[in-house]
A and B are shown apart, each in its own frame.
Chain A
């Protein structure tokens, strides 16, 4: 099992540009989560899906952020337009159920200059 796969690993972009982060969850996992981590705020849950349906997006900071899960094997997190304060490590995680634990990807380090 390749685990949760995120791409790209690193992204450097200019302010105002659109950024798309990608995630492939573990096959068979029915829940998918997007987190953001910064030194100041720690790990923040942005949005999560269950069976491809967004359940709670209350953590999405503002309308510039959007997430989709068109099928069970793929999800995207988009930031448009990006701002320097969006710089962080973005993690995707998937789970087959609470008592099976969550598996996190390696993250995407986003730098907006």
Chain B
């Protein structure tokens, strides 16, 4: 599984856009990039997944450059409730029982 590197923590203010960049230099051809969000006392929650270019859903956008060696999760206009830990994971699609290995994540604190 490709190793990922992301900042340990980020602070932001309500209404701002938060961008978290994840490095995955040894990403393989079959690997997808997935982001999870974890609130205190809850399990991680799937946010978004992508393979290349840009993916957008109702929660976030995911930007992946052509070389796929990094990706950026963008949270538009954050609110206090977006305070959480955000995990970037990389793994391949297809094989049965693909396991997720979580790194340390990025702790995002949204201030009023």
B residues contacting A by CB (< 8 A) are 32, 34, 36, 41-46, 49, 87, 91-94, 96-105
Contacts and interface: CB of A to CB of B under 8 A. Distances in A.
B100 A33 contact: yes
Contacts of B94: 98
A87 B105 CA distance: 21
Given A49-B97, A50-B96, A50-B97, A102 B102 contact: no
Contacts of A48: 97, 99
Contacts of B102: 35, 42-43, 45
Nearest to A35: B102
Contacts of A50: 96-97
A102 B93 contact: no
Interface in A31-74: 31, 33, 35, 42-43, 45, 48-51, 55-56
Contact of A102 (B46, B92, B104): B46
Nearest to B97: A50
A93 interface: yes
Nearest to B43: A104
Contact of A93 (B41, B43, B49, B96): B43
Contact of A98 (B42, B87, B92, B101): B92
B98 A104 contact: no
Interface residues of A, number: 26
Contacts of B43: 4, 91, 93, 104-107
13 contacts: A4-B43, A31-B96, A33-B99, A43-B87, A45-B101, A55-B97, A55-B99, A93-B43, A99-B49, A101-B49, A104-B42, A104-B44, A106-B43
B110 to A, nearest CB: 21
Contacts of A91: 43-44
A80 to B, nearest CB: 25
**Most-contacted residue by chain A among B93, B96, B104, B105 (CB, 10 A):** B96
Contact of B98 (A4, A93, A98, A103): A98
